[in-house]
Structure 1
Amino acid sequence: MSAQTMTRSADEVAKRRRPGRLKAYNSFRGVMIVAVVLIFLLPLVWMVMASFKTNVDIHDTTKSFIFTPILDNYSHVLGNDSYLNFVWNSFWVAFCATGISLLIGVPAAYSMSRFNMQKSALLVLLARIIPGVSLLVPWYYVFANLGWVGGYGVLIISHMFILIPISVYIMMSFFDSMPLELEEASLVDGLTPIGAFLRILLPLSVPGIATAGILSFIFSWNNFMFALVLSGSNTKTLPVAVFDFVSYASIDWGAIMAAACIMTLPIIVVALFAQKYIVSGLTAGATKG
């Protein structure tokens, strides 16, 4: 048998094996995708179903999927006049903290990216790594002496401690992916460095800004620890309001699930409509070089 015939036979065998391997790979990938989706969706599905159950039905395993839905939990939550105020508090704190963090973080990220300020970037990363719980006691002591505890300002400042590093590191990778020729061409055309940043780079960085803003808003909206310690009765946010359904003697699971669904719905809507910005912003700079 000639070498050419042997090579042709080996190629034919490889071609026959390839569809089987590809089929096995596709089956394995499909199983893993389904498993991951179920792991992430099952808690959410259980939360939504529990919001339409009585407390007795929630603990009854025979009524996990087959039960008589009720709206009492949502009536109990939305019937509370203070709950809409809690929604406004969460929105206002998240909106202000996100906006101010972007105003500070975007120019800071541009400076660190263009001027190789590695030490400053390390300090920002250090602020992101420090556990927030370690700052609550000194923050409370300082803000209490200033008379700020219980106001919106202290919540916004505490959230900015985490939101600014998020904005800086997302935008740094985005600015790193932008070619320097854009700025050089704008300087040749007569723009100042600040003008080049405002008129050229900033409009091009909208996807990154949207990503940083969305992720920052989600973190601030969901934050529980800072609001629990630093908020007051008039500035209480939604995560703390959900915790109010836990009492010493009992836990109103149905109301907690209903309140959690109401709190989660805006975030899901924002994430769905802004998905393309999140993906493009998080992958910016990944192919640099």
Structure 2
Amino acid sequence: MTAIVTNPPLSERKGLPAKRRRRRGVYPIVRVIALILIVLLFILPLVWMVIASLKNNVDIYDASKTIIFTPTLENYANVLSRNNYFVFIFNSFWVAFASTVLSLILGVPAAYAMSRFTMHKSALVVLLARIIPGVSLLVPWYFIFANLRLVGGFGVLILSHMFVALPLIVYIMISFFDSLPLELEEQAQVDGLTPIGAFLRTTLPLSVPGIATASILSFIFSWNNFMFALVLSGAHTKTLPVAIFNFVSYASIDWGSLMAASVVVTVPIMIIALFTQKYIVSGLTAGATKG
């Protein structure tokens, strides 16, 4: 049997290219508008924060001085010198650095084992640990660490941040190791290396983009974490997000200093994300095309 092909009416054939041309003309406009809205949604709060950090409290409440005002650095002087925020910056950096390094030391070999030996149940447990909200563990943690007299020290902060950083690193690195061919390690073992040696000399150097991604995301989480540090830190181990609350009192809020402190917290992470974005993208998409 031969199929009968019927041509559409001439009006429909003429109208189809016109519709396509209209769609091609509309879609770029929609994309540009959507992109502008998304950029404004994320940029405007940051711009307002920076502008407010250069105003005194009177100018912040004055709507006529939203754009035109006399800038001042008094808020930054108040934050960095009078309130000794360099100590809080060091505390945040030390907790973020230590929790990230320890999580990498434990998480990278664990992710390698789960990937190469197809430990799907263990990977599921790691994923569940990543999903569990941290606030549900704060009360048990505080009870245990308080009885051990560890509350207020750096150790308890580092351990609490590792609870989130370690599953994150394992989850990212499992996908990255899955994307690396097993033949490279087999060839290294044929050349005389042990399985551990093949991992250290072949697989680990190739996994640098994934390690960089996991490290950056873990560091950013720890730097921005507020809840764990609020409950478990002490007067000498207070981190930046908790220290910002020094400008919030029962009767009033020092908005200028609060915005200046927020800029101090935000700018380092924005710089890190800006210069390491290629590692983040390459690491997160490493296992996307596998198979």
Which category describes the TM-score, using the shorter chain as reference length?
over 0.9
What pairs with 1:91-170 in structure 2 (closer than 5 Å)? 91-170=93-172
Query: What amino acid is aligned across from residue 175 of structure 2 in structure 1?
Result: S
The answer for the alignment partner of 1:80 in structure 2 is 82
What's the Cα RMSD here? 1.9
1:191 aligns with 2:174: no
The answer for the alignment partner of 1:63 in structure 2 is 65
1:8 is displaced (CA, Å) by: 10
The answer for the alignment partner of 2:27 in structure 1 is 25
The 10-residue stretch of structure 1 (115-124 or 90-99) with the greater mean CA deviation from structure 2 = 115-124
The 10-residue stretch of structure 1 (80-89 or 253-262) with the greater mean CA deviation from structure 2 = 80-89
Equivalent-residue separation in structure 1 for 2:188 and 2:158 (angstroms): 37
Query: What amino acid is aligned across from residue 101 of structure 1 in structure 2?
Result: S
1:241 aligns with 2:252: no
Equivalent-residue separation in structure 2 for 1:6 and 1:108 (angstroms): 62
Aligned length: 287
For 1:20-77, what per-residue CA distance to the aligned partner results, in whole angstroms no more than 9, with x for missing partners? 3212111100110111111111111111111111212222223222222111111111
1:7 is displaced (CA, Å) by: 10
Query: What amino acid is aligned across from residue 21 of structure 1 in structure 2?
Result: R
Compute the TM-score of the two structures, normalised by the length of structure 2: 0.93
Equivalent-residue separation in structure 2 for 1:274 and 1:8 (angstroms): 56
Change in CA separation of 1:7 and 1:99 when aligned onto 2, cut-off 3 Å: farther
1:103 is displaced (CA, Å) by: 0.8
SS in 2 for 1:50: helix
SS in 1 for 2:158: helix
Query: What amino acid is aligned across from residue 36 of structure 2 in structure 1?
Result: V
Query: What amino acid is aligned across from residue 66 of structure 2 in structure 1?
Result: S
Change in CA separation of 1:6 and 1:145 when aligned onto 2, cut-off 3 Å: closer
1:108 is displaced (CA, Å) by: 0.7
For 1:181-238, what per-residue CA distance to the aligned partner results, in whole angstroms no more than 9, with x for missing partners? 1122112212111111111111001000000000000000011111111111111100
The 10-residue stretch of structure 1 (123-132 or 57-66) with the greater mean CA deviation from structure 2 = 57-66
Unaligned segments of structure 2, at least 5 residues: none
Equivalent-residue separation in structure 1 for 2:38 and 2:163 (angstroms): 32
1:224 aligns with 2:235: no
SS in 2 for 1:142: helix
SS in 2 for 1:65: coil
Equivalent-residue separation in structure 1 for 2:35 and 2:13 (angstroms): 32
1:12 is displaced (CA, Å) by: 7.0
Compute the TM-score of the two structures, normalised by the length of structure 1: 0.94
Equivalent-residue separation in structure 2 for 1:286 and 1:182 (angstroms): 20
Equivalent-residue separation in structure 1 for 2:254 and 2:159 (angstroms): 32
Query: What amino acid is aligned across from residue 227 of structure 1 in structure 2?
Result: A
For 1:66-95, what per-residue CA distance to the aligned partner results, in whole angstroms no more than 9, with x for missing partners? 222111111111122531111100000000
Greater than 4 Å deviation, 4+ residue runs: 5-17
Query: What amino acid is aligned across from residue 134 of structure 1 in structure 2?
Result: S
Give the percent of matched residue pairs that are identical in Structure 1 and Structure 2: 67
SS in 2 for 1:29: helix
For 1:159-183, what per-residue CA distance to the aligned partner results, in whole angstroms no more than 9, with x for missing partners? 0000001101111111111111112
